[in-house]
Amino acid sequence: MKIAVLGTGEVGRRLATKLVSLGHEVAMGSRTADNADAAKWAEEHGGAHGTFADAAGSAELVVNATGGLVSLAVLEAAGAANLRGKVLIDVSNALDFSEGFPPKVGLPDGRSVAEHLQSAFPEARVVKTLNTMTNTVMVEPGRVPGHHNVFLSGDDADAKAVVAELLASFGWASDRIVDLGDLSSARATEQLLPLWLRLYGLLGTGDFNFGVAGG
């Protein structure tokens, strides 16, 4: 597929690199066409780079790998026309570091970032996933031994099927992919972040994940 990864941070670069390794045609989007991190990534991995609108416009699928507090502005820059009808994978979390670590988590109205994006871009097909783990585990689930899970939230069943197939290509077995239901369920996964952050501080590593036992 032609995939746009919006965001040049560690998460965006990790996902973009994995997608290129799987044979996808990847464009990394940033605020400016000459972003140094995006240009370096493209040179090293054979991808393309440009503005958010450049990347999204040529893509079949879009990944939002930006910080949750700025994601809405990023997608506005990408342009509604460039998102229309496309699967939009949202891996973001609303983390507010203004008062230090650990950050405050969440948006003031209690809705998820994913719901805000879907409301702002109703013709996009938003799916929330991968936001409950560190970026290395996202693309290499075998880093964590034993049974653990990745979650899906979204209103469009076909879009979730596309994302589940992509997750499988990352190494996520079908019995580890848990469909939580409609997009309102993304509130639950975004609110796992305070626990994840506390565990990260306690364990000193991001090589852990949440797993559902029983049921």
The torsion angles phi and psi of 119, rounded to 5 degrees, stand at: -65, -40
pLDDT confidence of residue 215 = 66
Print the SS3 string covering the chain.
Answer: CEEEEECCCHHHHHHHHHHHHCCCEEEEEECCCCCHHHHHHHHHHCCEEEEHHHHHHCCCEEEECCCCCCHHHHHHHHCHHHHCCCEEEECCCCEECCCCCCCEECCCCCCCHHHHHHHHCCCCEEEEECCCCCHHHHHCHHHCCCCCCEEEEECCHHHHHHHHHHHHHHCCCHHHEEECCCHHHHHHHHCCHHHHHHHHHHHCCCCCCCCCCCC
Mean of the per-residue pLDDT values for the chain? 95
Spatial distance between the Cα atoms of 119 and 123, rounded to a whole number of angstroms:
9
Type of residue found at 189:
T
The predicted-structure confidence for 165-179, as pLDDT tens digits, reads as follows 999 999 999 999 999
Summarised one tens digit per residue, pLDDT across range 19-57 is 999 999 999 999 999 999 999 999 999 999 999 999 999
Residue with token string 């994995």: 18
> How many degrees, rounded to 5, is the angle at CA 171 between CA 16 and CA 10?
30
Distance CA(55)–CA(33), nearest Å, equals 10
The mean pLDDT value for 76-80 works out to 98
State the pLDDT at residue 97.
Answer: 66
Residue keyed to tokens 């979650």: 151
Question: Span 132-142, mean pLDDT?
Answer: 98
Q: What is the pLDDT of residues 148-166, one digit of tens each?
A: 999 999 999 999 999 999 9
